[in-house]
Amino acid sequence: MSHHQQPAEHGPVFKRMVAGAPYKPDAECHALSDTIYEATKLFEQYYARSEHAQAMHVLREHLGAFGTGSFMRPSVAFDYGVNTFIGEGCFFNFNTVILDVAPVRFGDGVLVGSNTQFLTPTHPVNPQDRKNLWEGGLPITVDDNVWIGGGAIILGGVSIGENAVIGAGSVVTKDVLANAVVVGNPARVVRTVGPDEHPAHPHQYSAQSIAEAQAFYDSLTASSD
């Protein structure tokens, strides 16, 4: 990954939160949440004017990392942003939600479909603890070249291995091994990605159409690096 922010000196409550210990949000947490909310509004304003490079720059400035050639479409929502780390050449389609009270890390070349959620927060089972506003969080890790279909939900504590495929609408509650294809609620392995996998119906895509699509994508991302 690239474009890491310089680590900030956070207070004890924020450190407890990132470490996965029980915590109650304090003033620092609320201030960081307000900051990323304003940043995502600015991102969407730039995007609406087709100023994609400026929109990606906003994310690069406010996330923990936003790698070269990565691209997000609106809308996007984060709890804090600083706990989200995105590698190079990733693509996030419309309406991504990343609740990053714990770290959420994406490798390189990750593809994320529309309306996908990454949910690290946890709450106590004990109702009195919930009433007293205790919270927690578990990290999420998505390795290189993972494809996550639209509407999937990835829960805290999950790691997804490289090259895995998450079917649309799946709810992922447990770790996914590298090269696995999982679907369903809860997500279950249905097969493994083989070394000789090819796109479905490759004859439908001419060399010219592929080149044109790549040129268009490059035009969106090149100036935002």
Q: pLDDT for 157-214, tens place per residue? A: 999 999 999 999 999 999 999 999 999 999 999 999 887 776 555 555 555 666 666 6
Confidence of residue 1 (pLDDT cuts 50, 70, 90): very low
User: What's at 128, amino acid-wise?
Assistant: Q
Could you tell me the pTM of the whole model?
A: 0.84
Q: Is the pLDDT of residue 49 over 50?
A: yes
Average pLDDT over residues 10-38: 94
Catalytic, out of 30, 52, 57, 123: 123
Cis ω before 75 (30° cut-off from 0): yes
Q: Is the pLDDT of residue 2 over 50?
A: no
Q: Are strands 159-160 and 140-142 parallel, antiparallel or unpaired?
A: parallel
Of the chain, the percentage scoring pLDDT greater than 70 comes to: 84
95: number of Cβ within 10 Å: 17
pLDDT, residue 194, reads: 81
Residue 4 is a catalytic residue: no
Task: For helices 27-48 and 52-62, give the axis angle rounded to 10 degrees.
Answer: 170
59: number of Cβ within 10 Å: 26
Question: Cα–Cα–Cα angle for 157, 77, 85, nearest 5°?
Answer: 55
Beta strands in the chain (DSSP E): 65-66, 71-72, 76-78, 84-86, 91-92, 96-99, 104-106, 111-112, 117-119, 121-122, 136-137, 140-142, 147-148, 153-155, 159-160, 165-166, 171-172, 180-183, 188-192
Q: Is the pLDDT of residue 8 over 80?
A: no
Burial of 194 (0-12, 13-18, 19+ CB in 10 A): exposed
Q: How many residues does the chain have?
A: 225
Q: Are 102 and 18 in contact (CB under 8 A)?
A: yes
